[in-house]
A and B are shown apart, each in its own frame.
Chain A
Amino acid sequence: MELTGADIVVRCLQDEGIEHIFGYPGGAALHIYDALYKNDHVKHILVRHEQGAAHAADGYARATGKPGVVLVTSGPGITNAVTGIATAYMDSTPMVIVSGQVATHLIGDDAFQEVDAVGITRPCVKHNFLVKDVRDLATTMKKAFYLASSGRPGPVLVDVPKDVTAHTTEYIYPSSLSMRSYAPVNKGHPKQIRRATDLLLNAKRPIVYSGGGVVLADAEEELRELVRLLGYPCTSTLMGLGAYPAGDPLFLGMLGMHGTYEANMAMHGCDVMLAVGARFDDRVTGELSKFSPGSKIIHIDADPSSIGKNVRTDVPIVGDAGRVLADLVADIKARTQKPDEQAIEQWWDRINEWRRVDSLAYDRESELIKPQEVVEALYSATGGEAFVTSDVGQHQMWTAQFYGFKQTRRWINSGGLGTMGFGLPAAMGVQMAHPGATVACVTGEASIIMCIQELSTCRQYDLPIKIINLNNRYMGMVRQWQEFFYDRRYAHSYMDALPDFVALAEAFGHTGMRIEKSGDVEGALREAVNLKDRLVFLDFITDQTENVYPMIAAGAGHNEMHLHPGIGAPPRERELA
């Protein structure tokens, strides 16, 4: 049967098993919207700004592992989505963006709402296409989903001119395809795996450094099995939290700029590091010349270009994290040699000394609401089972530190690009994917304003998100840097003329609460979580002066952390063996 290009786009989504897409209509996309109107399988969620559509699809994808889908129009439609696409790109989220384009005969004429979508998105997509012939449309859509979801995932844009959506052709959705120029490697090289096992079994001071790639590969079981088999300490990046459960004795917490003392000291002092699905980001490594001196590094990654990019690697293994870890476990089990029990015990003794520093301590006696206590109370009010999104800044770090994630895909934040405004629309995507689940968006009064219009979308689709606004009347992380590094010159980090968030939430048709006393925190959270059918905006008036600790300043190494002033100096370090 012949279909129009617009019908083909929608049928491709249907045949790809896509249930929800996020978008905003406009001239060049109207044929596609008309096709959606006639389709019962693909549900479209109308956002209030295209950035929101991209973040919502991103949140949806991160919470499910399935590709998120965005539909926008040409010109400002796609440019508004670019921040969301770049956010997805930096965190390797599988996403397909369909953008309307002006008709092919107008391309290059500076037509109304024309922008070079392929050109403008090129640096922030895994790949993109301009479809000039309706006969190429179905195959291109198939390629887009294949590229977005395989290897190291990422966003893929399909730009479709309006006349192409009107033309007709026979519709055949390819069941599979092969591309001569694209063949992701999934199985790790057996020789490299044997070398990795040799290093791991001979280690005296090992550490497992796990990242977002483990989440993307759904490799948490394999990771847990490996860590428990060896009994080695495990730390995680911001993006990998939940893959190894917080609270487990082998878990050292998050590492990096705001990582725990024990995680960073162990990274600094280790002799063998197994990095899996992590990319040695500058927020993780600190000053590269001081990073983990004297360790041998095994690096497992789906993307060969991540290996050796920032840090020299002794054993590179390209492959899918789950498959490589499973092969590694099998190889370790097949060996007669076991880990050096005595050395590992001594290593744990060191680590436990570092743990006793209690680097996440904060003043629990304060009458002011401490942001950390709000996150801890959120954990208990939700039984640690919530899906938690965040924006970017101090609240993001406190959430990472204090909500002990025990499962993957529960912690959804913009780690790579650091996009303020991500939290609320991402939470919409998560809530669409998991209608019955508790979805909390931990945010700050600066971040939440950046995509506040999405409160209207939440009303339209009855999304009962809990917004936890840690309101310190400052762009907190900016203020913290200005306090530490700019001699307390708080240039434009103060949020003057803030709205009344309770009234604002109510104006959008939601429930608002303001919490000003420490004693009211837990009760308010429990009440909000129990309001299962409503979005609740909780405005917590928090201590303005609280900072995120520990902190590794620019140019410093992992062993040069600033600790909370209340903790005092850490115990003197013995020389590393």
Chain B
Amino acid sequence: MRHIISVLLENEAGALSRVAGLFSARGYNIESLTVAPTEDRSLSRMTIVTSGSDEIIEQITKQLNKLVDVVKLLDLTGGAHIERELMLVKVKAEDQAREEIKRLVDIFRGRIIDVTDSTYTLELTGTVEKLNAFVKALEITEIVEVVRSGGTGIARGDRVLAV
């Protein structure tokens, strides 16, 4: 099953490689991993999208907690949560396709953020499913480049991950 694990860790050199090294050394899957400092500069927040059986996910959270740089973590999948990913797509946009792509972007509530004679650069935020659906819909033209940020997330309601 797919899990989104949010991790607060010390904003130290090497903290990211400890997490990445843990996943590769123990053979755990990483679908995506994003990390950036929080409003408290001494902490980074990492979001790991992974998958595995309940036993594997239990081991992943235990092994992450065992890393000395990890302060706290929360498996968002354990409760209601909001998931978002940012995607930037550069597509061929010529002749009638320009109108079609624009309509598609509107339907998906995306934005065109850069334009040339022959291309559009599009921005879209949403769940993984929505982003995948958008990429599929863009088959009406030629996709030149896709950039995805990897998933991030936050728990709904009172559930928080903070020190």
Contact = CB atoms under 8 A, between A and B. Distances in A.
B14 A118 contact: yes
Interface in B35-79: 55, 58-59, 62-63, 65-66, 68-71
Given A181-B9, A308-B55, A308-B58, 10 more contacts: A127-B69, A130-B13, A130-B14, A147-B68, A179-B68, A181-B10, A303-B66, A304-B62, A304-B66, A305-B62
Interface string A182-214: 100000000000000000000000000000000
B147 interface: no
Given A123-B25, A308-B58, A181 B66 contact: no
Contacts of A147: 68
Interface in B3-34: 9-10, 13-14, 17-18, 21, 25
Contacts of A130: 13-14
B163 interface: yes
A305 B9 contact: no
A181 B9 CA distance: 8
In the complex, the 9 A-B pairs of residues with the closest C-beta atoms, listed nearest first:
A305-B62, A127-B68, A181-B71, A304-B62, A182-B68, A305-B66, A305-B63, A123-B25, A122-B21
A308 B59 CA distance: 8
Interface of chain A, main secondary structure: mixed
B20 to A, nearest CB: 10
A127 to B, nearest CB: 4
- In this complex, the interface size class of chain B, counting residues with CB under 8 Å from chain A, is 20 to 34
Interface string A103-133: 0000000000000001100110011001000
Contacts of B55: 308
A351 to B, nearest CB: 32
Interface string A292-308: 00000000000111001
Contacts of B71: 180-181
Nearest to B22: A123
A547 B82 CA distance: 61
A309 interface: yes
B65 A304 contact: yes
Query: What class of interface size applies to chain A in its complex with B?
Result: 10 to 19
Nearest to B18: A122
A149 B73 CA distance: 24
11 contacts: A119-B17, A122-B14, A123-B21, A123-B25, A127-B69, A130-B14, A179-B68, A181-B70, A305-B59, A305-B62, A308-B58
A309 B63 CA distance: 10
Nearest to B163: A180
A563 to B, nearest CB: 35
Contacts of B25: 123
Nearest to A119: B17
Contacts of B70: 181
B68 A309 contact: no
Contacts of A179: 68
Q: Which one of A119, A303, A304 has the highest number of Cβ atoms from chain B below 10 Å of its Cβ? A: A304
Nearest to A127: B68
Contacts of B13: 130
A305 B61 CA distance: 9
A556 B69 CA distance: 40
A293 to B, nearest CB: 18
Contacts of A126: 68
A349 to B, nearest CB: 37
A119 B68 CA distance: 15
Nearest to B55: A308
A502 B148 CA distance: 68
B12 to A, nearest CB: 9
B68 A181 contact: yes
Contacts of B21: 122-123
Nearest to A152: B66
Nearest to A151: B66
B11 to A, nearest CB: 11
A181 B42 CA distance: 12
Interface in A306-325: 308-309
A147 B69 CA distance: 12
Interface string A58-97: 0000000000000000000000000000000000000000
A404 B62 CA distance: 37
A182 B17 CA distance: 18
Nearest to A182: B68
